[in-house]
Amino acid sequence: MSAAVSEHVSLATTGGEHAAAKRIVAAVISADVLQRYGSGNWKDFHGVNDLLTALGVEVRVVPHVNGAAASVLAACAAGATDVLMHYSIWPDLLQSVREKYPQVRIHTRMHNPEPLQYLQRNPVGWLPTHSNARRCYGAARMYANDWRSRRLSDSLLWISDWDQARYQPLLLGAAKGWLVPYHCPWPAKRPRSAAVAWDQRRAVIACLPGGRDRIGLAQIEGLRTLAAQLAGIEGFEHWQLELSTGTMRRHEARPLGSPFVDAGDVAEPWDYLLGVKAVALLSGLGYGCKTTLIDALAAGCHVLVAAELAQRLPAAVRSQCIVVGGKSARPIQDIFSALQQPPAVHDVHALRSEQAKAGLRNALQL
């Protein structure tokens, strides 16, 4: 194990709820994710670890570099009873664990149906071009990684019930799938941060895309369309549309001009959400879980979602969102009126936490 990796291996505090026997989970993640503070995969990694700790499981954070197995094998040699592998793109690493430590149980965290996510970012056209061929090959390789990961795993931990229901049946292998929905880690990570009273929050509709790929740009264009629809409605002139740079450095994010206000890189996403009134995710592109959506609900924001995205949300989450567009679209004036009032009190965060704990108990046989 390299020094760069070993210095990041950490041990989480054990406590909380009972476990039938001592379990030591090696929580495996690509080392670069640990440096992406506030990104979706960073949040989910910490959220799952927090839940495992609450269940009385000892969690050891084990980074790897480009799928190298050394750090994970060392964790198994040091007594890990389970490996929880984030992402399904490293089946060779799982193969190494399975061959050397067959007694260790392997659980793969399914963040996305990877080939479908890849094709939404890189759509394939009809012409027989070299570019299209490369994209088809890339999607096929990702599918192969997914089904190999299922064959090598004892369980799959799905972040999205929609993905589990529709994509898992397409994968070969016997590993059982369990729903472990995204658990917002921010209240635990920043316990001193408090929600701003509704009448003191900034009149902002925020868009926080992770980047400027096809999925992120679709969100931005969805917000631009909403802004055009809201223009001219009395009172909207007092609102701002704020756009973050996401995971990019500021110089990489091309300014998009009116009607957007640059929110910069949003150093503390949770504190930011606690102080704005609304967050928009106005594109149906992208699979997995829109972690910002769940964070925004937990922060007490209104969340505006595209109709296509709403169809993939669990009913408990969808009922708390304002759906924009679609066959049963609400009048734009009604949408703006809803934004003026605080959201109904709900506890989706607690509900999802209990669902995630149940999935982890079943997968780990606690």
- pLDDT per residue, tens digit, the chain (366 aa), is 444 444 344 444 334 444 445 799 999 999 999 999 999 999 999 999 999 999 999 999 999 999 999 999 999 999 999 999 999 999 999 999 999 999 999 999 999 999 898 888 888 888 889 888 998 998 999 999 999 999 999 999 999 999 999 999 999 888 999 999 999 999 999 999 999 999 999 999 999 876 667 888 888 889 889 999 999 899 999 999 998 866 444 444 455 666 778 887 788 999 999 999 999 999 988 889 999 999 999 999 999 999 999 999 999 999 999 999 877 678 999 999 999 999 987 788 899 999 999 999 999 999
Give residue for tokens 């192969």: 144
Task: In whole angstroms, give the CA distance from residue 135 to residue 123.
Answer: 8
Specify the length of the chain in residues: 366
* Kind and range of the H or E run holding 121: helix 114-121
Task: In whole angstroms, give the CA distance from residue 193 to residue 208.
Answer: 19
Tokens, residue 209: 């895309």
* Kind and range of the H or E run holding 142: helix 130-152
φ and ψ at residue 17, rounded to 5 degrees: -80, 165
